Chains A and B, each alone.
Chain A
């Protein structure tokens, strides 16, 4: 399984500001994913980031609000722009992996964001 780290682990931000979250993987991976996890809700996929191409965003998420970079096969960033209290959440990056003969996903520890 891949080892994934995220920075920062948590932050408290003022509304209207932006925060960039970093995700580092210990091996080269083709696809990286960014999720949002709000209290009591399921993980929601924000976007898929492939190295060398534009990220693919899910319905309800746009590049202006959540710009993503994927400069190489082991690193990605997610920026939460012009933040509002509704952006308070846990943000998780993940990568595909193999388990039990099939594909699954492995997650980083998450970034807990509180917007005041």
Chain B
């Protein structure tokens, strides 16, 4: 079993839709949870950062962490064609813990 599981997609939605992206993980020691967005031919850029459980909102983006279920989500409201990218979840712990990345979900938002 991989430490982090993420559906690779692709996920295709119409413009304006609410997008839900998810990852599951197996290591309960993870405490920091991140979402990166990677456009084609670019490096990953940090989109959302969450510590421990709970929700975090930034504009159209909401990150949720449920540590009891070992499940994290990223919601995108009013999706735009410019949101078309690959979204990678990532997680790490304290004390020199390595960051572990999901495989990424390819998202296409159709105009």
Q: Show the binding face of A for B, using Cβ within 8 Å.
A: 1, 4, 40-43, 45, 92, 94, 99-110, 112
Contacts and interface: CB of A to CB of B under 8 A. Distances in A.
- Main SS class of interface, B: strand
A108 B43 CA distance: 6
A1 B101 contact: no
Interface string B73-111: 000000000000000101010000011111110000000
A101 B92 CA distance: 14
Interface stretch (B14-22, B44-52, B64-72): B44-52
Interface of B: 4, 6, 8, 32, 34, 36, 41-46, 49-51, 56, 88, 90, 92, 98-104
B88 A42 contact: yes
A99 B58 CA distance: 13
Nearest to B2: A42
Contact of A107 (B6, B43, B51, B98): B43
A101 B32 CA distance: 10
B43 A110 contact: yes
Contacts of A108: 43
Given A102-B32, A103-B32, A105-B99, A43 B49 contact: no
What 8 A-B pairs have minimum CB-CB distances, sorted nearest first?
A107-B43, A100-B49, A43-B101, A42-B101, A42-B103, A99-B49, A109-B43, A110-B43
A97 to B, nearest CB: 8
Given A1-B46, A107-B44, A102 B88 contact: no
Given A40-B103, A110-B43, 18 more contacts: A42-B88, A43-B44, A92-B43, A94-B43, A100-B56, A102-B32, A102-B51, A103-B32, A104-B32, A104-B34, A104-B46, A105-B46, A105-B99, A107-B36, A107-B43, A107-B45, A108-B43, A112-B41
